[in-house]
């Protein structure tokens, strides 16, 4: 049941997001779109409540409960970021707004961008770890909590791997192509000439 609920929450997330953006940019109903987008966190609360009820009714803690905690952690950390990113693209394509800025591709700016994304992963991992620990304490000695402990390890490994990837952008920063560097040097020179 929990696995189906996770799938339903994921589908519901994208349906609410698509409806919210369509209502905002195609129909011009901004308040209605805000209400639809604010319904997104309700999905996670439903999943959390269903998981708690499932454990309360005596279900043996399994991988599906661990997956629910990871899903909730990911959605808490990246849900708003995803909505904002898609809203910028919808505003551009459907609302006539300028295109949203792209993330930096090179140098320290890219490393900072990747570090900010990693901090989101840390936040999501912390939420998942907390939910899993609450489930472990709730079940207590009355059940096998090894699957919940295993998913705590999965959360920590995911955060660690993402941290290594983010760190690689600092240790080995991508360099801008030669023509882009030349353009940047010319524009900086022009700016300095204007300041003088």
Tens of pLDDT, residues 32-45: 999 999 998 999 99
Helices in the chain by DSSP H: which ranges?
2-25, 30-38, 40-56, 63-95, 107-139, 146-171, 178-195
123 contact partners, CB below 8 Å, separation of at least 6: 76, 77
% pLDDT > 70, the chain: 90
Nearest-10 Cα torsion for 21, 119, 50, 137:
-170
84-103, pLDDT tens digit by residue? Answer: 999 999 999 998 899 999 99
pLDDT higher than threshold 70 for residue 191:
no
Query: Predicted confidence band at 184 (pLDDT cuts at 50, 70, 90)?
Result: low
Dist. CA 104–CA 110, nearest whole Å: 5
Dist. CA 58–CA 2, nearest whole Å: 14
CA geometry: angle 172, 173, 174, nearest 5 deg: 115
Query: Predicted confidence band at 175 (pLDDT cuts at 50, 70, 90)?
Result: confident
92-149, pLDDT tens digit by residue? Answer: 999 889 999 999 999 999 999 999 999 999 999 999 999 999 988 888 777 778 889 9
């Amino acid at each position: 049941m929990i696995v189906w609920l996770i799938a339903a929450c994921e589908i519901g997330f994208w349906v609410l997001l698509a409806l919210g953006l369509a209502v905002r940019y195609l129909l011009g109903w901004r308040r209605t779109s805000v209400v639809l987008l604010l319904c997104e966190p309700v999905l996670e609360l439903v999943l959390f409540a269903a998981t708690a009820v499932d454990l309360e009714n005596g279900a043996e803690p399994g991988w599906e409960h661990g997956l629910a905690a990871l899903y909730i952690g990911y959605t808490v950390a990246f849900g708003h970021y995803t909505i904002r990113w898609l809203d910028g693209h919808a505003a551009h394509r459907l609302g006539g707004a300028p295109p949203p800025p792209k993330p930096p591709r090179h140098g320290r700016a890219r490393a900072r961008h990747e570090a900010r994304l990693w901090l989101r992963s840390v936040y999501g991992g912390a939420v998942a770890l907390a939910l899993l620990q609450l489930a472990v304490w709730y079940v207590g000695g009355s059940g096998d909590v090894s699957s919940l402990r295993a998913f705590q390890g999965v959360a920590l490994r995911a955060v660690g791997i993402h941290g290594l990837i983010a760190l690689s952008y600092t240790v080995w920063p991508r360099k801008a192509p030669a023509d882009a560097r030349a353009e940047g040097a010319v524009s900086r020179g022009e700016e300095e000439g204007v300041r003088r």
